[in-house]
Amino acid sequence: MSEPSGEWQRLDPRMLLVLPVRELVRFLPVLLAIFVAGTASGRTDWWHGLGIAIPVGLGLLRYLTTFFRITATRVELRRGLLNRHLLSTPLDRVRTVDLTASPTHRVLGLTTVRIGTGTASTDDEDHLDLDGLPVERARELRAELLHLATADAAAGTTPERDDRLVVRFDPAWVRFAPFTSTGLALAAGAVGVAVQAVNTLGGFQRLDTQGLAEDASGWSVWLALPLALVGLLVVVTALAVGGYVVTNWAFSLTHAGPEGHGAWHLRRGLLTTRETSLDDERVSGVRLAQPLGLRVARGARVSAIVTGLDREESGSALLAPPCPRAVATDVAAEVLRTDAPLSAALVDHGPAARRRRYTRALVPTAVVVAAVAVLVGLDLLPGWWLVVVVLLPAAVLLAGDRAAALGHALVDGHLVARSGSLDRRHEALATRGVIGWNLRASWFQRRAGLTTLVATTAGGPQAVTVLDVPLDVAVALAHDAQPDLVSQFLDGPPLVSPETIATAT
Amino acid sequence: MQLREPSRRVSPRARLMWATTAALEAVLLVAVVAVAGPVSGWLPLPWWLVVLLGVVAAAYVVVMPVWRYRVHRWEVTDTAVYTQTGWWVRERRIAPMSRIQTVDHGEGAVARLFGLATVTVTTASAAGALEIVGLERDGALALAEQLAVRADTVPGDAT
């Protein structure tokens, strides 16, 4: 392979087609201004051509001044003509290699390689992006950077070309899209942009509110409201499906290299494709998310808890988009290399924890309802405000669901915790990935004999939380997970719990 | 199975430090509500509500430092750091020595008045920083030094 030669090399020459166009787009507002000024004055001066020549020149310069090299120990990227910029990182700090290809890149057979080192910097300048390499070359580079090739060589086998496919996108999964909150978020975003645009153009001043009100008075509320709701539903559903398809089309999860020392490859995207790789050694757990909507549709999505991933990239660790629950658990079991953690029966948190779910849901609701009742009684609010009473049964249902979710387990070297209703989470974290324990209890929790056990980790959500467990159970759980660490802080003589004996024999 | 409390208390002067900070905050809050409110008229509160607020703030200044001092404890062993902090919400944190990433010695403005300092131990998790507030200044420096040396002697990249 030509990579480790240590020579400075340029990006792919086909980037000469991409970069000037990109600069032109960036200069578009200036170009428009020049064009408008030119038409207004009725003549075209020679310098108007500069508006096009400068961006194109900048694009060419960007290509000519960008070099990268891969030596035996480091990856280096050098760029800039006046402001010289040299990015350099040791090879053993490389944690992720992402390949992203925009539609333009795809047409030209190119892809952008982003080399992730787990940096906390959010500045785009500080990222090691090799923008524009041929796809094949990029894949070779990735295998090399993630030591897949060397691992194969060490094992004395030829590098496997066809990776093991774990899950592939099924168009039928699109049915889960309407049950996610993506549609709502997209719709809210669209409304926000539209309102801002109308506002900037002074549309609200010209809006004929009087006329609108008169037009609307011809409509019955009983006709207008359902129509508006149906319309909203259709729009939100369409947006959700659209967003889902654009992001997740052609999703696939494959495993490359030897079991346990290879890497997971994730690929997805309809227009811009993204390929992410996760080192086996850095995947320390999974999170199965089942928000209420997805649970109703019997779906789930899975993400990986990856240590050392950039925080802003935590989204890229999605192992399966919203899909049938069975598929999601299969993927989780594959990635954990055991299906025990997510299929094991969970230990109940007991009556005190369940009672706490009800008090926490009901007390604030009851306060709100009582306040409204008083205000209505004093004639300070119109009577229809009393509909807030429906919050009470809703709170009971929510509390019931939250209580049913509570559970934890320590199975096969994994700490498992489940909680939540609207955002039900079922997490499994390998105990080797736990880098600390927090036991947190408010005065109310202490009175109920409960505590919240948090296992901290360097990856993804930063922690796995076991909500409201009895104190002795929490301590036993932490002790069984990491006896060497916790036993020195136990009260009284060191004890051996029944569970430890069970796993030892 | 129960955890015992960490073995060492923080400096008794920490109570004064917490009381001073709380008193400054309380005086500022009550002053804003009692003076700025009536003068500008944007916060029309009845006088008894202001008095009530003052009483609550005074109770906070008296009770919180004592309670907090009873809770705050710490311990460093060969393999781990163990802290207990808080007052209304009590939190115990254990971090293995092998996972320590940085050791930080800090002295706030009020803490300096009392010759106190804070030692913060971070791990690779954003949820896992251990903070020991209200240590004697010299003791804190020695502790930070000792922790840094011990964390260095354990191999691995702490993730």
What DSSP element (H or E) covers A502?
helix A498-504
Cβ <8 Å between A435 and B125: yes
Which of A463, A479, A488 is closest, CB to CB, to B1?
A479
Q: List where CATH 2.30.29 sits in chain A.
A: 3-145
Token couple for A81: 């003509």
Cβ <8 Å between A436 and B94: yes
* Domain residue ranges of chain B, discontinuous segments joined by +: 8-69, 75-153
Rounded to 5°, angle at Cα A438 from A434 and A444: 145
Query: How far, in Å, CA of A26 to CA of A17, rounded?
Result: 15
pLDDT of B70 > 50? The answer is yes
CB-CB neighbors (< 8 A) of B121 in chain A: none
Cβ <8 Å between B90 and A440: yes
Query: How far, in Å, CA of B86 to CA of A228, rounded?
Result: 51
List the single range of A132-146, B103-117, B142-156 with lowest mean pLDDT: B142-156
Closest approach of chain A CAs to the CA of B131, in angstroms? 12
Confidence bin at A152 (pLDDT 50/70/90): very low
For B105-150, the pLDDT digits (tens) are 999 899 999 999 999 998 888 887 899 999 999 999 999 999 988 8
Looking at residue A119, its pLDDT comes to 61
Cβ <8 Å between B99 and A435: yes
Residues of A at the B interface, defined by Cβ within 8 angstroms: 307-308, 311, 435-443, 446, 454, 456-459, 462-463, 471-472, 475-476, 478-479, 482, 484-486, 488-492, 495, 497
The percentage of chain A sitting over the pLDDT mark of 70, rounded to a whole number, equals: 85
Cβ <8 Å between A485 and B125: no
Q: What is the mean pLDDT of chain A?
A: 83
CA dihedral A31, A37, A38, A41 (to 10 degrees): 180
Q: Where are the alpha helices (DSSP H) in A103-177?
A: 103-108, 135-145, 148-154
Token couple for B11: 């400096």
Task: Count CA within 13 A, CB hemisphere, residue A450.
Answer: 19
Phi/psi at A94 (5° precision) = -70, 120
CB-CB neighbors (< 8 A) of A311 in chain B: 126
Closest approach of chain B CAs to the CA of A244, in angstroms? 30
Residue B125 contacts A, CB cutoff 8 Å: yes
Cβ-count burial of A348 within 10 angstroms (0-12 exposed, 13-18 middle, 19+ buried)? Answer: middle
Which of B80, B124, B127 is closest, CB to CB, to A438?
B127
Cβ <8 Å between B123 and A435: yes
pLDDT of A319 > 70? The answer is yes
Looking at residue A96, its pLDDT comes to 76
Closest approach of chain B CAs to the CA of A260, in angstroms? 18
What is this model's ipTM?
A: 0.90
Task: Count CA within 13 A, CB hemisphere, residue A170.
Answer: 12
How many C-beta atoms lie closer than 10 Å to residue A258's C-beta? Answer: 15
Confidence bin at A183 (pLDDT 50/70/90): confident
Give SS3 for A310.
Answer: coil
Token couple for A192: 């926000």
Residue B93 contacts A, CB cutoff 8 Å: yes
Cβ <8 Å between B79 and A485: yes
Closest approach of chain B CAs to the CA of A57, in angstroms? 44
Contact yes or no for A451/A440 (Cβ under 8 A): yes
Query: How far, in Å, CA of A325 to CA of A333, rounded?
Result: 12
Higher pLDDT, A262 or A211: A262
User: What separation in angstroms does the CA of A61 have from each of A64, A67, A110, B69?
Assistant: 5, 12, 19, 64
Residue B63 contacts A, CB cutoff 8 Å: no
CATH of A3-145, one of 1.20.120, 2.40.50, 2.30.29, 2.40.128: 2.30.29
The percentage of chain A sitting over the pLDDT mark of 90, rounded to a whole number, equals: 35
pLDDT of A2 > 50? The answer is no
